């Protein structure tokens, strides 16, 4: 008797085996956490990580159910001597009932659950959003292929002569809510700090906003997550999270440098 029904079983088992052993193998290669999410240094990042894990778990369960059903049908209806194949059109009421039931289970248990949890998380993040009057505010402008970081000067206002401007380097205080006002000078960019779970489009002619709070001193990558032209790969900067005193000293140094260059 031919054993063709073993092929799907071997394929499915092999896929799960690869998924099971690949993360430890990659980790053993000396690259830290390359196989999973990056470190989270923000106060709100757990919302996104939890949602990611929920989506991964639910899709894994659905995938496993499909594979198990596939294996069952392959084995149950395999070729056997003396058994005649029967053709099913799939138009009986029981077939319709099974289809509708499975569709509702997927829609309610997976799709609606993800939408609900997303809305709850976004609502909680929006409720914690800082007041622009009291937050540490930074203005970020995307351009091909740099991030222009602007801080208000001694007058506390943007768009004046004492503004402090840097490129591709942002310093923010640890333990304080940072409000980032974002725009673009040319094309659509995407302000992205993966280790803070922050991502927001920079759109020409309009202002978008995002906020975060860093939990500990660190240095992070500021990337562009939107294909913005031939030099997109070069559009990255650095976010330095440090004490408020260190940020103030750095701003004073930048202000003195700009005054000397005028």
- Sheet arrangement for strand 189-193: 169-173, 236-242, 218-224, 189-193, 198-202
pTM over 0.85: no
d(CA 113, CA 185): 39
Q: Is the Cβ–Cβ distance between 168 and 146 less than 8 Å? A: yes
Tens digit of each residue's pLDDT, the chain (262 residues): 444 434 344 444 444 443 443 444 333 333 455 578 889 999 999 999 999 999 999 999 999 999 999 999 999 888 888 888 888 787 888 889 999 999 999 899 889 999 999 999 999 999 999 988 889 999 999 999 999 999 998 888 888 888 899 999 999 999 999 999 999 999 999 999 999 999 999 999 999 999 999 999 999 999 999 999 999 999 999 999 999 999 999 999 988 888 777 6
List domains and CATH numbers for the chain: 6-127 (1.10.287), 136-261 (2.60.40.420)
DSSP state of 30: T
């Amino acid at each position: 008797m031919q054993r063709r029904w073993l092929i799907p079983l071997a394929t499915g088992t092999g896929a799960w085996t690869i998924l099971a052993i690949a993360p430890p193998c990659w980790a053993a290669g000396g690259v830290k956490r390359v196989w999973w999410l990056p470190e989270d240094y923000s106060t709100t990042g757990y919302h996104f990580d939890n949602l990611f894990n929920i989506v991964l778990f639910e899709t894994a369960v659905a995938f496993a159910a499909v594979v198990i059903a596939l294996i069952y049908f392959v084995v149950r209806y395999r070729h056997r001597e003396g058994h005649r194949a029967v053709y099913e059109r799939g138009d009986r009421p029981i077939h319709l009932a099974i289809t509708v039931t499975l569709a509702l289970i997927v829609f309610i248990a997976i799709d609606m659950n993800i939408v609900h949890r997303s809305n709850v998380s976004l609502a909680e993040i929006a409720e914690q959003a800082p007041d622009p009057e009291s937050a540490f505010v930074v203005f970020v402008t995307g351009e091909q292929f740099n991030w222009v970081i602007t801080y208000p000067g001694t007058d506390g206002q943007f768009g004046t002569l004492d503004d402090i401007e840097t490129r591709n380097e942002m310093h923010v205080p640890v333990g304080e809510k940072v409000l980032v006002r974002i725009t673009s000078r040319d094309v659509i960019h995407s302000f992205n700090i993966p280790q803070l779970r922050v991502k927001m489009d920079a759109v020409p002619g309009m202002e978008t906003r995002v906020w975060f709070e860093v939990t500990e001193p660190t240095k992070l990558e500021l990337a562009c997550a939107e294909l913005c032209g031939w030099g997109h790969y070069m559009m990255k900067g650095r976010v330095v999270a440090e004490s408020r005193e260190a940020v103030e000293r750095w701003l004073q140094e930048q202000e003195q440098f700009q005054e000397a260059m005028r």
